[in-house]
Every structure is written in C-alpha cells, then in structure tokens.
C-alpha cells in the first residue's frame, strides 16, 4: 500500500512492517499535515484510555489488526478495512484484540497531540 503526497509516494506497508515489531503500547507516526488536517499512523498494541477531543473531528481506517471501538456508549467490533468517524466531544477509545492494530487517522483541523481529554467511565 502506498500513499501519494505532493513529495511522492510513501510506502505505508514498509512503515507498518518496521514499526509494528517495535511498538510496546501506543505509538504515532505523523504522515502529513496542513493547517486543516493532520494524518497519522497510530499503532496500538494495548488500548487507549477513554477520552475525547474538544476541538477536533477524527476519521480513521483500520489498516491492520482488529479490535473494539467504544463510541456512543457502545462497543463496536472493527476489522481490517473498517472505518469510523468520531465527532469532536464524543468519548471514545480503541482496544486492540490482535497482535497490533494500525489506524490511518485523520484529524481536522490540524492536531498537535494536546487535545486529548481523559475521562472516567
């Protein structure tokens, strides 16, 4: 799988293959960003804590693995190829149920990693 950008192609499969072996819990690789969007690869070996984003909408596609997404008060099973839209303000978290899950995440507007507000469920 390749990702085309203005600077050329990125080999996403190669990044996934290399990083998946090293991730211990959760790690992020920034792929692209502008003032309006940030695109990340998110590697999850364990699980996220419940949280929401006050200023950002999030769309992601599961590129590898499988797991459960808590969203809207329910858990939803996701597999490779599934996608999710999480509007700002919605409490959510992803739990990996495979060796490692890899999400292609798109935040809008630009995301600096600071707008993740932890909550207790």
pLDDT score for 56: 98
Over the chain (121 residues), what is each successive 10-residue block's mean pLDDT? 93 96 96 96 98 98 98 97 98 98 98 96 91
| Partners of 33 in beta bridges | 38
- Within 13 Å, how many C-alpha atoms sit on residue 55's CB side? 10
pLDDT score for 103: 98
pLDDT score for 15: 96
Q: Which domain holds residue 36?
A: 2-118
CATH number at residue 16: 2.60.120.10
pLDDT score for 97: 98
Nearest residue to 41 (alpha-carbon basis) of 86, 101, 93, 95 = 101
pLDDT score for 67: 98
Looking at the 3D structure of the chain, how many domains does it have? 1
pLDDT score for 66: 98
pLDDT score for 36: 97
Written as six digits, the tokens of 97 are 């149920």
This prediction has a pTM of 0.95
pLDDT score for 32: 96
User: What Å distances lie between residue 63 and 1, 7, 81, 111, 118, CA to CA?
Assistant: 10, 22, 6, 21, 25
């Amino acid at each position: 799988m390749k990702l085309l950008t203005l600077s050329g192609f990125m080999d996403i499969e190669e990044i996934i293959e290399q990083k998946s072996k090293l991730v211990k819990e959760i790690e992020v690789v920034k792929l692209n960003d502008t003032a309006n969007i940030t695109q990340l690869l998110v590697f999850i070996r364990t699980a996220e804590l419940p949280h929401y984003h006050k200023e950002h909408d999030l769309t992601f596609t599961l590129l590898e693995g499988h797991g459960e997404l808590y969203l809207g008060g329910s858990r939803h099973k996701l597999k490779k190829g599934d996608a999710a839209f999480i509007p700002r303000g919605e409490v959510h978290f992803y739990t990996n149920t495979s060796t490692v899950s890899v999400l292609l995440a798109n935040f809008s507007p630009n995301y600096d990693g600071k707008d993740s507000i932890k909550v207790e469920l």
